[in-house]
Structure 1
Amino acid sequence: MLRALVLSLCLISPVALAANPVFDVHVHLRDGETSLQQYRDDVRAAGLELSGIGVMWFGGPHQARQGDLAKIRAGNDQVIALAKAHADVLPIATVHPFDGDAAMEELARVAAAGVKVLKIHAHTQGFDVSDPRVEALARRAGELGITVLMDNANILPGDSEKLFNLVVRVPKTNFILAHIGGLNFRFWNILALARTADGFGFENLYFDISATVLVVADSPVEEEFLWTLRNVGLDHVLLGSDYPQIGLDATVKAFERLDLSDEEKAKIRSGNAMTLFGR
Structure 2
Amino acid sequence: MDVMAKMNVDSLVAIDVHAHAEVSEKGGESLSGALKSGADDYFKLAGQRRPTVPEMAAFYRERNMAAVVFTVDAETATGHPPVPNDEIAQACADNADVLIPFAGLDPWKGKAAVRQARRLIEEYGVRGVKFHPNLQAFFPNDRMAYGLYEVLEELRVPALFHTGQTGIGAGVPGGGGVRLKYSNPLYVDDVAVDFPGLPIILAHPSFPWQDEALAVATHKPRVHIDLSGWSPKYFPPQLVQYANTLLKDKVLFGSDYPLISPDRWLADFEKLPIKDEVRPKILKDNAVRLLGLDA
TM-score interval w.r.t. the shorter chain?
0.7 to 0.9
Deviation at 1:170, TM superposition (A): 1.3
Q: How many residues align?
A: 242
How far did 1:132 drift? 0.5
Q: What whole-Å deviation, never above 9, does each CA across 1:121-175 have from its counterpart, x for those lacking one?
A: 1111122223101233212211122210110125635712112222122111111
Shift of 1:228: 2.7
**C-alpha separation in 1, matches of 2:239 and 2:155:** 33
1:184 aligns with 2:199: no
Please give the secondary structure, in 1, of the residue aligned with 2:69.
Answer: strand
Q: Distance in 2 between matches of 1:55 and 1:205?
A: 20
Q: Which residue of 1 aligns with 2:34?
A: none
Q: Secondary structure at the match of 1:90?
A: strand
Match of 1:97 among 107, 123, 147: 107
Q: For residues 256 and 110 of structure 1, do their structure 2 counterparts lie closer, same or farther at Cα, with a shift above 3 Å needed?
A: same
How far has the Cα of 1:213 moved from its partner? Answer: 4.2
In structure 2, C-alpha distance between the alignment counterparts of 1:136 and 1:232, rounded to whole Å = 32
Structure-1 separation of matches of 2:61 and 2:288:
21
Aligned partner (choices 76, 86, 90) of residue 95 of structure 2: 86
Q: Equivalent residue of 2:209, what SS?
A: helix
**Separation (CA, whole Å) in 2 of partners of 1:31 and 1:189:** 33
Counterpart residue number, 2:140: 129
Q: Secondary structure at the match of 1:54?
A: strand
**In structure 2, distance between residues paired with 1:191 and 1:128:** 16
Aligned-partner Cα distance in 1 for 2:207–2:161: 13
Structure 1 residues 244-253 or 135-144, which shifts more? Answer: 135-144
Aligned to 1:204: 222
> What TM-score does the superposition give when structure 2 sets the normalisation length?
0.72
Asked if the contact 1:189–1:231 (Cα under 8 Å) also holds between the matched residues in 2, the reply is no
Gaps of 5+ in 2: 1-10, 26-50, 167-179
Please list, as runs of the form range in 1=range in 2, the aligned pairs for 1:22-101 lying within 5 A after superposition: 22-31=14-23, 35-39=52-56, 48-50=63-65, 52-58=66-72, 63-66=73-76, 71=81, 75-87=84-96, 88-101=98-111
Distance 2:258 2:87 in 1: 17
Query: What corresponds to 2:35 in structure 1?
Result: none
C-alpha deviation, 1:246, in angstroms: 0.8
Residues 99-118 of structure 1: matches in 2 within 5 Å? 99-113=109-123, 114-118=125-129
Distance 1:277 1:44 in 2: 19
The 3-state SS of whatever aligns with 1:146 is coil
- Contact persistence 1:148–1:174 (CA under 8 A): yes
1:13-46, CA deviations, whole angstroms, 9 ceiling, x for partnerless residues?
Answer: xxxxxx971101111123356524544565577x
Q: Could you list the runs of 5+ residues in structure 1 that have no partner in the other structure?
A: 1-18, 196-201
Higher share in helix = 1
Among candidates 159, 162, 169, match of residue 187 of structure 2: 162
Letter in 1 for 2:161: M
Measured on the aligned residues, the alpha-carbon RMSD in Å equals 2.9
**2:274 equivalent among 254, 260, 274:** 260
Amino acid aligned to 1:27: A
**Amino acid across the alignment from 2:89:** I
Contact kept, 8 Å, 1:24 with 1:54, in 2: the verdict is yes
Contact 1:43 1:49 in 2 (8 A): yes
The 1:274/1:64 distance shift into structure 2, 3 A limit, reads same
Distance 2:61 2:113 in 1: 37
Amino acid at match of 2:162: D
Cα distance in 2 for partners of 1:100, 1:121 equals 16
